[in-house]
Structure 1
Amino acid sequence: MKLLGISGSLRGDSVNCKLIREAARLLNPDHFIEADLNIPLFDADEEEVSGLPEAAMTLVHQIAEADGIVISTPEYNAAISGVLKNALDWVSRHKPNPWAGKPVAVMSAASGRAGGIRAQTMLRACMTPFNVRFLPVSELAIAGARSEFDEAGRLTSERYEAALQRMMDALKAEIARGK
């Protein structure tokens, strides 16, 4: 099983990166890749001249090769991050659509009390055109996220870890159903 983790944060000590790594630990795939969203800003004029940037093509291939995908988004001003939206915009330009039929787990980690739930709603809306298979489980939103991980990047709350385990069990079942 190949799992792709996408964090909507470029921050070195990102809690969203920690969350996708925890998801991978609990899912225990044969292969785990973390996407790099450090992609140039979308520019249709540049695309017309040069095509998709190499970093965007790498992401396209990672999505296409993954059996399942976990996306963790921060919440900036009640929305997803610019880097995540930019990556979605670039990938949307590739034909065929690498997202089609992929099982996707959506989660968030944020400083606020809502844990990024509004960003998850926006992310789902942004991904609707891609025809992914969102998991039929409730959202996982880690509130006050800076204090929810230890120095090794592991979740410290049994409640959050149990919820993430349920989500990864559902992702594993969805991946198996799709094969």
Structure 2
Amino acid sequence: MKLLALAASSSSKSINKQLATYAASLVEGADVEILDINDYEMPLFSQDREDELGHPELAQRFFAKIGEVDGIIISFAEHNGSYTAAYKNLFDWTSRIDQKVFQNKPMVLLSTSPGPGGANTVLTAAKGSAPHFAGDVKASLSIPSFFDNFDMEAGKLRNEELKQALYEAVNKL
């Protein structure tokens, strides 16, 4: 199984990237590509920019990456209760190529934050919208209080209940 794992965050210290990477490692025998959305930075989407630029090559590459894999893991960072601007912009450009951005791929959607909410607000939005963009959401999980529940040195969850829930979620792919 070829998996694409990414954090919907542009932070170089993204805890969501750490979570997505760890989650992907729990899928036995998977060939995993960890994607960094910083490699797909484009001008802010607008109709005027689209008229000027068409479909940027980076958006086309991102869409192609999704097409090449058997499953997707995305861990969402939350900015003011919503998607990060970097992820939303990449998504908006890609959706102009084809509204079926996720190409009927099975997906596991995750989120985490330093606080007790675990970025659950954005995760709820992502779960609700993914099917409208041909995302086959198999499971979702919010990890609260990341620094209390994740061992940074070992690169894995230390909370056994969350670890088991994550294992079960990603193995639904």
User: Per the shorter chain, which TM-score range?
Assistant: 0.7 to 0.9
Distance of 1:15 and 1:99 partners within structure 2: 23
Aligned to 1:47: 50
Query: What is the root-mean-square deviation in Å for CA atoms of aligned residues?
Result: 1.8
8 A contact 1:5–1:20 mirrored in 2: yes
Q: Structure 1 CA distance, aligned partners of 2:37 and 2:99? A: 20
Given that 1:61 and 1:98 are in contact with CA atoms closer than 8 Å, whether structure 2 keeps it comes out as no
Gaps of 5+ in 1: 172-179
Matched residue type, 1:115: G
Q: Aligned residue for 1:169? A: 171
Describe the SS at the equivalent of 1:33: strand
Superposition pairs of residues 76-155 of structure 1, within 5 angstroms = 76-95=79-98, 97-135=100-138, 137=139, 139-147=140-148, 148-155=150-157
| CA shift in 2, pair 1:149/1:44, >3 Å | farther
Partners of 1:2 and 1:32 within 8 A in 2: yes
Partner of 2:25: 25
Unaligned runs of 5+ residues in structure 2 are none
Counterpart of 1:157 in structure 2 is 159
TM-score (norm 1): 0.85
Identity percentage of aligned residues: 31
CA deviations on 1:20-61 (whole Å, 9 max, x unpaired) are: 111111003442112232321223322223222232222111
1:151, distance to aligned residue in structure 2 (A) = 1.7
- Number of the residue aligned with 1:175: none
Mapped to 2, the partners of 1:74 and 1:132 lie a distance apart of: 19
Q: 1:58 corresponds to which residue?
A: 61
Q: Is the 8 A contact 2:5 2:74 kept in 1?
A: yes
